[in-house]
């Protein structure tokens, strides 16, 4: 069972470059999420989606964009990368009910030089 798959696993960018992180889930989940994890900060929500074609801002959305063109995919874009965006990024998905757990991918480790 693949669950939630994130690509790439590692990436190094230069300041000002752009890139897209891909998240794919095979559980037919409606809800999908992008988080960033920084030491001592826990997980912070960047953007999320409650279904195909929808997106919403989380607590730290600045500098990021997202798209959910297909139900199984949720893309996170950095238009002009900054060193402050160096982090580990996690994607998660969830079923239709709020008492269901979120399922996480293994993360993308991104360094901005």
Cβ closest to other proteins, residue 10 vs residue 14: 10
Cβ closest to other proteins, residue 14 vs residue 99: 99
Minimum distance of other proteins from residue 97's CB (angstroms)? 9
Cβ closest to other proteins, residue 17 vs residue 109: 109
Q: Where are the beta strands (DSSP E) in 2-107?
A: 4-7, 10-13, 19-25, 31-38, 42-49, 56-57, 64-67, 73-78, 87-94, 103-104
What is the token pair recorded at 78?
């950095």
> Which residues form the interface with other proteins (CB under 8 A)?
4, 31, 40-43, 45, 48, 50, 56, 58, 90, 92, 98-99, 101-107
DSSP, collapsed to helix, strand or coil, labels residue 84 as helix
Minimum distance of other proteins from residue 49's CB (angstroms)? 9
Minimum distance of other proteins from residue 91's CB (angstroms)? 8
Minimum distance of other proteins from residue 16's CB (angstroms)? 28
Phi, psi of 55 (to 5 degrees): -145, 155
What's the distance, Cα to Cα, between the start and end of the chain in Å?
35
Cβ closest to other proteins, residue 89 vs residue 112: 89
């Amino acid at each position: 069972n693949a669950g939630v798959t994130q690509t790439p696993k590692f990436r190094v960018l230069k300041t000002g470059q752009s890139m897209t992180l891909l998240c794919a889930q095979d559980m037919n989940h409606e809800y999908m999420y992008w988080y960033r994890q920084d030491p001592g900060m826990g997980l912070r929500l960047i953007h999320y989606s409650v279904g195909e074609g929808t997106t919403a801002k989380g607590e730290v959305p600045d500098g990021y964009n997202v798209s959910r063109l297909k139900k199984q995919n949720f893309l996170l874009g950095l238009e002009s990368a900054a060193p402050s965006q160096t982090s580990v990024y996690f994607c998660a998905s969830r079923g239709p009910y709020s008492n269901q757990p979120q399922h996480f991918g293994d993360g993308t480790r991104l360094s901005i030089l």
